[in-house]
Structure 1
Amino acid sequence: MTVRSENEVLTRTQKARQQDIIAAAIVVLDTDGFANASVERVAQEAGTSKGTVLYHFKSKEGVHEAVVRLLYDNGTAYMAERIRAEKSSRDRLRAYLGSNLRFIAENAAHVRAVHRILQNAGGRIEVADGVEPLRDLLATGQQRGEFGQFDPQVVALMTRALIDAASFHFTAHPDLDVEHYVAETIRFFEKATAKEES
């Protein structure tokens, strides 16, 4: 039997408490709105005290940053696993589009919470726009002869704009046929990136 140190147990306890607080903040932001997501309300939802929330996150803004960071970290991990499983650039583009849109649909409450934070943060919280890795994927596909001629920067920006808009549409329409949306999006970008017929 392995005996764990007190510090290791405390670290696990702290991580679990932080996860509980973040989960509570997501619920409060999603159901009560940004203006009502006070530290006291988050603590109540988490079944803890205001002091405990502030001990872990220092401020309401600290809680908000943790909520945003978790969504982006989870989304990156979810997508990367699926993209890496594919070999060709075209299949990786399909995986990129499909995994990003499905992640949004599967995490609607968290996405709505982040929307509310970012709309009210006044640019204080910086988030990656995701354009650079997508541009690189497209450029690699062109070098391999899998895609036609286009500006990969522009197409990457267009793709991100579509996905970002979808994040608002998906979360506002929970009964949306996600798989149909995914299939149509993939079909559109397959045509947009296809090699011209000679």
Structure 2
Amino acid sequence: MRSKESGSPSRTRRARREDLIAAAVRVISQDGYPAASLERIAREAGTSKGTALYHFASKEELYQAVVTTLFEDGAAFMAERLRAAKTPTEKLRTYIETNLRFITLNPAHVGATQRIIENSGAVQVVQVEDAAAPLRRLLESGQASGEFAVFDAEVTALSIRTVIDGAAFYFLARPELDLDHHISEIVALFLRSVRPVPAAPTADSEE
């Protein structure tokens, strides 16, 4: 018969992996990418290099986990809020705002991920085109309902993603920014860009 505690090793292993990922984020953020050896990360996590290698086959695998975890956490953060949005406009506002807000709430993890992507050729990241696909579908649904104007949904989706991804670098490099102001301005910019243009008044309507 299996003990009620039989699930604890997997929970312990998951917790140890999370500790190592968090330690990697701290080391890269505080000391820089070159200093982030597996031994240094393990020491930061309060464990040994051997234990780290038990959970991750290599430093590159740990780096991959840092990147993947950021994208997964961001997706979960967004999904919870997107479920509450009803109209295409609300969904677009929420999509942009939650993306940007997640960046401001997780600067160390975002910064560490940026350094890994810049320096490690072995790490796989979500391609912009793939990340833009759900957004393109959102825009197309707004067009189909008549709530959004006629435009190229693919180009607009890629433009929004480019601004969001660029904001991650811009925000982190300028801690003095009024982030609430920048987020509200970016949201307003794209909401204006998708609204239908009011029809020009005709001669009959002016009489």
Sort the TM-score into its range (normalised by shorter chain): over 0.9
- Aligned runs of 1:24-103 on 2, under 5 Å? 24-103=23-102
What letter is aligned with 1:98? E
Task: Name the larger-Rg structure.
Answer: 2
The answer to whether the Cα contact below 8 Å between 2:67 and 2:125 also exists between their aligned partners in 1 is no
SS at the partner of 1:35?
helix
TM-score by length of 1: 0.95
- 1:172 to partner: Cα distance: 1.4
Where does the alignment leave 5 or more consecutive residues of structure 1 unmatched? none
SS at the partner of 2:175?
coil
**Deviating 4+ runs (over 4 angstroms):** none
**1:16 aligned residue:** 15
Where does the alignment leave 5 or more consecutive residues of structure 2 unmatched? 200-207
**1:105 aligned residue:** 104
- 1:38 to partner: Cα distance: 0.2
- 1:174 to partner: Cα distance: 2.2
TM-score by length of 2: 0.91
2: CA distance, partners of 1:197 / 1:25 = 52
**1:186 aligned residue:** 187
- 1:123 to partner: Cα distance: 6.1
Q: CA RMSD in A?
A: 1.3
Bigger mean CA offset, 82-91 vs 4-13: 4-13
1:176 equivalent to 2:177? Answer: yes
2: CA distance, partners of 1:25 / 1:165 = 23
1: CA distance, partners of 2:21 / 2:123 = 19
What letter is aligned with 2:35? N
2: CA distance, partners of 1:52 / 1:6 = 22
Of all paired residues, the percent bearing the same amino acid is 47
What letter is aligned with 1:122? G
**2:202 aligned residue:** none
